[in-house]
Structures are given as C-alpha cells and as structure tokens.
C-alpha cells in the first residue's frame, strides 16, 4: 500500500465525517469498540555478528548490514474508552496486524560482500489512550497513545546461508485523531513509532549469533464500530 493512497483515504474518511457529524448533544466516547485498520510502515533494520572470516574493523563486521524496510499491513482493533470527565477521554486499546514490512541490502559486511534482510510479518500493540474531545458536538478526538508492542521478525543472511524468526517484545508511542460520523461509527488516522529492539534471531554459523534490530514508523487509517456507552453528563437547563 502506497503512502499516497493512505493519505487519500484519510482525506476521504474525514471529509465524510465532517459532512455527516450532527448530534443532538455532546457526543459520548465512552464504551467499547471494534474495527478494522490498515496502512504503511517504513523504518530501518540492522544485522550484526562478530564475523568468522575476519575480525571486526571498528563497527563493521563480516556479517553486518543496515537497510531500509517498508511495506503494508492490515488488521483489526478492539478497545474501551473507560472514562470521559468533561472533554477528556481515557481508554485502552489493542490491535493485531498482518504485515509485509521488508527490506534487504546486497552489501552486508566489509569482506565477502553478500545479501541479508529482514521482514516484519505481523505485529500487535496494547496501549493506553488519552484524548481531548473538540468540535461543536465533541465528536472529534485528538489523542496521544503509548504502550507495549510485539512483532514477528524474520531475517536471513546469505553468507552461509542462515535464517530465523521470532516474536519480539518492544514499545510504541504515537498520536492520532478520530472523528464520529454517526452515533456508533468513527473513522481515524494514526501515527505510531514502534521499536522492537535488538535480539539474536539465528546463528550465522554454530556459536556465532546474528543479532537483528527492527524499528518502524506506522501510518494507518481505520473505521471503528462503537458499542453504546453511558452518555456524558449534560448541563441542567432551568425551566421558566
């Protein structure tokens, strides 16, 4: 999925939200929701090992490589907005996506140059969200979010050759904006930075570990269905 297509989808979603958002009173964000999301991710991955044909020279070793990764993803979301004190909205959210965020380089190492690469095949997050409802009906929700991330990283090195994969833990932080275009339907666009750290995925030869890092920027759009929650308090109107 191209980044341009993601941005065009964002414009279409929020144009629709702005054209249809008219509610009898303040919009209630509280309650549970489920939805679908997709987007594009890009970032960097690097591979390091102590080498075995020759010692390291500075930070360069026989099997080292660093390269750009990019690709699309699609998945689902579930969450619950716990409280809405005034315009503030506090909630939790989890998501899981199938992905093909991948990259490689043909110049791993400073000697015996060879190819290596990595792919993020799936990822998920569990995050807290803090939003602030704005707009005449309070149906726009800019928010910040952060929490835990996991991802299935697969990597390979053609030197021997060797490969491996594993689920990895990490962290994520980001921000987004969500808009309600009907009582139970919302649309959103969101940015996340995800860091899955560095860990051994395989041995390039027995006893020589290959360590792989993976860090990515994620832009995604989504549509959620919100189950009815309690309405926020409304101001009392004095009777004549």
In this predicted model, what pLDDT tens digit does every residue of 200-237 receive, in sequence order? 888 887 888 888 999 999 999 999 999 975 454 444 44
111 band by pLDDT with thresholds 50, 70 and 90: low
Average pLDDT over residues 90-118: 88
Report whether pLDDT(103) > 50: yes
Please report the pLDDT score of residue 24 as a whole number: 55
């799936």: which residue's tokens? 122
Please report the pLDDT score of residue 1 as a whole number: 46
Question: What's the rounded Cα separation, in Å, for the pair 225 and 228?
Answer: 10
Q: Who has greater pLDDT, 4 or 112?
A: 112
Please report the pLDDT score of residue 22 as a whole number: 56
Tens-digit pLDDT profile for residues 33-92: 999 999 999 999 988 875 544 445 554 454 567 899 999 999 999 999 999 999 999 999
Question: What's the rounded Cα separation, in Å, for the pair 199 and 211?
Answer: 5
Q: Domain spans of the chain?
A: 3-21+39-226
Contacts of 223 (CB under 8 A, 6+ apart): 13, 35, 36, 37, 185, 186, 187, 188
Question: What's the rounded Cα separation, in Å, for the pair 125 and 167?
Answer: 13
Please report the pLDDT score of residue 6 as a whole number: 46
Question: What's the rounded Cα separation, in Å, for the pair 90 and 80?
Answer: 9
| Among 100, 45, 53, 68, residue whose Cα is nearest residue 204 | 53
102 band by pLDDT with thresholds 50, 70 and 90: very high
Please report the pLDDT score of residue 112 as a whole number: 64
| Among 190, 80, 189, residue whose Cα is nearest residue 128 | 80
Please report the pLDDT score of residue 23 as a whole number: 55
Tens-digit pLDDT profile for residues 188-197: 999 999 999 9
Q: Which CATH class is domain 3-21+39-226?
A: mainly beta
Tens-digit pLDDT profile for residues 6-19: 444 444 444 444 44
Question: What's the rounded Cα separation, in Å, for the pair 180 and 87?
Answer: 15
């Amino acid at each position: 999925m191209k980044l341009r297509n993601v941005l065009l989808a964002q414009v279409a979603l929020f144009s629709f939200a702005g054209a249809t958002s008219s509610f009898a009173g303040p919009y209630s964000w509280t309650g549970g929701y489920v939805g679908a999301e997709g987007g594009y991710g890009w970032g960097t991955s690097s591979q390091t090992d102590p080498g075995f044909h020759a010692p390291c020279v500075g930070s360069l070793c026989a099997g080292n490589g660093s390269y750009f990764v990019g690709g699309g993803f699609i998945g689902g979301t579930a969450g619950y907005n716990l409280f809405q004190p005034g315009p503030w909205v506090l909630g939790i959210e989890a998501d899981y996506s199938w992905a093909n965020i991948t990259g490689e380089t043909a110049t791993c190492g400073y000697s015996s140059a060879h190819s290596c690469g990595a792919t993020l095949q799936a990822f998920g997050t569990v995050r807290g969200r803090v939003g602030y409802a704005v707009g005449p009906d309070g149906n726009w929700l800019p928010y910040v979010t952060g929490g835990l991330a996991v991802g299935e990283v697969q990597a390979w090195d053609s030197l021997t050759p060797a490969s491996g994969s594993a689920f990895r833990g990490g962290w994520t932080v980001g921000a987004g904006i969500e808009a309600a275009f009907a009582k139970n339907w919302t649309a959103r666009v969101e940015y996340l930075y995800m860091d899955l750290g560095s860990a051994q995925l395989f041995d390039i030869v027995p006893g020589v570990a290959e360590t792989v890092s993976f860090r990515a920027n994620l832009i995604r759009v989504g549509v959620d269905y919100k189950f009815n929650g309690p309405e926020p308090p409304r101001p009392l109107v004095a009777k004549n």
